[in-house]
Chains A and B, each alone.
Chain A
């Protein structure tokens, strides 16, 4: 069954390149393919599948097909989306790492300016947590500790979003930290719960479950305002440090797709992101659903890209893979 599906997808792929773009009036005339630049089963992949599910429901059975093209920290799939034939039938996932961070490391064949932004449907809020057995348990004791020693902060991969955000915070707060890279966020979480690192950047959902169990303690939230899940946890901003960070999930396209199709897609992202069933499913998964139109989305990506560039230059990783 699944094999047939995959062969079918492969066939659809080849035929897609042979058929001329359909007239815009009946767009989409066939399933729209969205490339997820990570393996099946991660949070980006799962939420894109929830998007596909909602799209099918809201648009009378019209289909989004998720295609996983992992590798290179997301660069391979994102490159495939950015360089796809601009007929509106191949789109990509707008993920923070491959769009705002990886181009600064070098080694990607696209830049932020090559991306057509369609819309943003979710943000992943971030909480800095103290790990089991850490020598601090709230913002003040963390800050006090960091004045004399460098806390070891785990991240999900060198040059990844967690690494950049932790370092950006340290720069802004004028403290020293030691970044400990792991292979993916679940390895970092394992080390954190086992007490092998001092702190890490976590999502509110995982931080909540683990702090109830006494394995993690939230230190501060990387939002401008406190969040509902952690009403007692301060933000960095209220402690006088000008620092906010969140990761995001959206839809991107190659430049040059037909104007009317782009308008349809932008409307579709809005409709999906404001649908109640969609919001509920995503919230259950620990995602923070929010809609941002193309311009706001682009501005957000640009801002993150600038912070990442500054941080990476600072720690000597800028352009290292050129």
Chain B
């Protein structure tokens, strides 16, 4: 009964309006490359100074949820990941849009984001305090093992294994640029202070995926290929939904679990989810060619991370990612200190946030679905104009993040790198994954060795570490094993037949 009383204030017009505006604003911020959900939340915090706690916080949560979702729009239509969270959506979303099925791809992304968001919101409401304790189990060895497991994705995503490994190692090497995470020594900066914190991540991604595509578009224009003929409609077919069912469920759960672990983030979650969907699919070869379940996997995972990242924040006072760290600032401004105590001192705020998460997800679905035809029209723009427009987006987007001119060089450099890689069949995805996971791998390996006084055994003990190491071995060994089993079965039937 009390819970209902706490939910009532959510349905005041002001509060509903704030959540709605927040979600819509977030959606637009997320869709514009270079404006991230983090930035949206941070810039709007001063607006919430004068609002009641539940209203202000839910507006911020709306921006967060809308922002992570919005990232898929430019990924699908322009191959420009608006946020690192949606980089994996590029793989299947963009080819679908190129086939003229942009509406369907966006529809699938919207449905997947909604399902992922709702699943995680249910988990948040039901199990926040219980699950939060899992987050605390993660010490250096556990993070290391998780990062190692994540890196095995490269093996299955890259097609040509050798080229994939080269891309992955290049990504790890690139992530070494900047201040060493343990000693603070600057590495590979060649005296440029602009590289002191390494390559800025989003400009690098924009270059890698979007600017490289502009080059490819220009090449195609020279060959005078016809424009894309858009297919109408925004709802995925029953066939698509049936094929995506597994990807949606797995993606939502993977996103929820990863979201709970502080500091891992939605980028990692969507790559792992994509890989799992591909591996358990009967038709893995369709992934990467514009296959709806690929979008379902990444988008359900990254939106599940949103709600799930609120779990350690509310239950422990520990922010799970950068956006929730900013949200924590928003809570403190309201005079609330997130943590286990808050469940007793401010149950109204806690219930209000749970409710607001649901509402924001639902608004996200409505706005997303309603705006699809409008977004899809972008592709009707003639190719030569589109290429110029994307190029401008690449530059403005990369600069807007840190207002740092070095980021523009980064973006252009990665653009050329991405284009060359694409030409010679090196996987851009492998490079991207390694750049996300490389720093996590290195920092935790060295921190763990430091804390245990160089005891390598610490990296092979503890239930979670062993779990992730086993998954790593399985994920690498499974293709070999399954081929071996298949061959044996074949041999058996052969011998039976000859008998």
Q: Which residues from chain A sit less than 8 Å from chain B, CB to CB?
A: 1-3, 6-7, 10, 39-43, 45-46, 49-50, 52-53, 67-73, 75-76, 79, 105, 107-109, 132, 152, 157-159, 178, 180-183, 186-187, 189-191, 193-197, 205-206, 208-210, 212-213, 215, 281, 284-286, 317, 320-321
Q: How far is the CA of A46 from the CA of B450 in the complex (A)?
A: 34
Q: Return the contact of A194 from the options B138, B196, B319, B400 (Cβ within 8 A).
A: B138
**What chain A residues lie within 8 Å of B317 (beta carbons)?**
189, 193, 206, 209-210, 213
Per-position binary interface string of chain B over residues 440-458, scored 1 when its CB falls under 8 Å from any chain A CB and 0 otherwise: 0001000100110000000
Cβ distance A101 to chain B, nearest Cβ, rounded Å? 11
B339, closest chain A residue (CB): A209
Q: Is B39 an interface position by the 8 A CB rule?
A: yes
CB contacts (< 8 Å) of B443 on chain A: these are 183
Return A183 CB to nearest CB of chain B, in Å.
6
- The reply to whether A69 and B45 form a contact with Cβ atoms under 8 Å apart is no
Known A-B contacts A43-B329, A157-B184, A195-B136; the reply to A3 vs B42 at CB < 8 A is: no
- Residues from chain A with Cβ under 8 Å of B38 in the complex: 39-41
| Smallest CB-CB A-B distances: 5 pairs | A41-B326, A40-B42, A158-B184, A72-B196, A41-B42
The digit string for B322-357, where 1 denotes a CB below 8 A from any CB of A, is 100110110011110111110000000000000000
Q: Which of A68, A157, A182, A186 has the most chain B CB atoms closer than 10 A to its own CB?
A: A186
What chain A residues lie within 8 Å of B45 (beta carbons)?
41, 46, 49
Q: Residues of B contacting A71 with CB < 8 Å?
A: 194, 196-197, 200, 402, 404
Is there a chain A Cβ closer than 8 Å to B54's Cβ? no
Asked whether B179 lies within 8 Å of A73 as measured between CB atoms, the reply is: yes
B184 touches A284 (CB 8 A): no
Distance from A272 Cβ to chain B, minimum over Cβ atoms (Å): 15
Chain B residues positioned under 8 Å from A39 (CB to CB): 38, 42, 322, 402
- Closest partner residue, chain A, to B321 (CB atom): A186
Q: Are A40's CB and B326's CB within 8 A?
A: yes
- Do A2 and B447 touch across chains, with their CB atoms under 8 A apart? no
In the complex, the answer to whether B39 meets A286 with C-beta atoms within 8 Å is no
The answer to whether A40 and B39 touch (CB under 8 A), given A72-B193, A181-B182, A206-B317, is yes
Given contacts A158-B181, A285-B329, 19 further A-B contacts (CB under 8 A): A2-B43, A3-B400, A39-B38, A45-B42, A46-B333, A49-B46, A50-B333, A70-B402, A76-B196, A157-B184, A158-B184, A186-B328, A187-B263, A190-B312, A193-B318, A194-B135, A209-B339, A213-B339, A215-B339
Q: B403 at interface (Cβ–Cβ under 8 A)?
A: yes
Residue among A3, A108, A212 facing the most chain B CB atoms (10 A cut-off) = A3
Name the residue on A nearest B181 (C-beta).
A183
Chain B, range 197-255, C-beta contacts under 8 Å to A = 197, 200
Chain B residues within 8 Å of A, Cβ to Cβ: 25, 28-29, 32, 35, 38-43, 45-46, 49, 135-140, 179-186, 193-194, 196-197, 200, 262-263, 312, 316-319, 322, 325-326, 328-329, 332-335, 337-341, 396, 399-400, 402-404, 439, 443, 447, 450-451
Given A68-B403, A76-B404, A158-B182, A284 contacting B193 (CB threshold 8 A): no
Smallest CB separation, B474 vs chain A (Å): 27
- Give the complex CA separation of A321 and B195 in angstroms: 12
Interchain nearest-CB distance for B231 vs A (Å): 30
A158 and B180 in contact (CB under 8 A), knowing A1-B25, A68-B403? yes
Q: Find out whether the CB atom of A193 lies under 8 angstroms from the CB atom of B316.
A: yes
**A2-B40, A76-B196, A281-B333 in contact; A180/B403 too (CB < 8 A)?**
no
Q: Which residues of A contact B43 (CB under 8 A)?
A: 2, 40
> Do B197 and A73 touch across chains, with their CB atoms under 8 A apart?
yes
Which residue in B40, B46, B332, B450 is a CB contact (below 8 Å) of A53? B46
Cβ–Cβ < 8 Å partners of B262 in chain A: 186-187, 190
Residues of B within 8 A of A42 (CB): 325-326, 329
Give the residues in chain A near B200, CB-CB below 8 Å: 71
A210 and B403 contact, CB distance less than 8 A: no
Chain A residue nearest to B443 (CB atoms) is A183
- Provide the residues of chain B in CB contact with A10, threshold 8 Å: 399
Assess whether A285 is in contact with B339, with CB atoms less than 8 Å apart. no
User: B186–A180 contact, CB under 8 A?
Assistant: no
Selected contact of A190 from candidates B135, B186, B326, CB within 8 Å: B135
8 contacts between A and B (CB under 8 A): A71-B404, A187-B262, A193-B136, A209-B337, A209-B341, A210-B339, A284-B334, A320-B185
Chain A contacts of B328 at CB under 8 A?
186
List residues of chain B with CB within 8 A of the CB of A107: 186, 193, 196
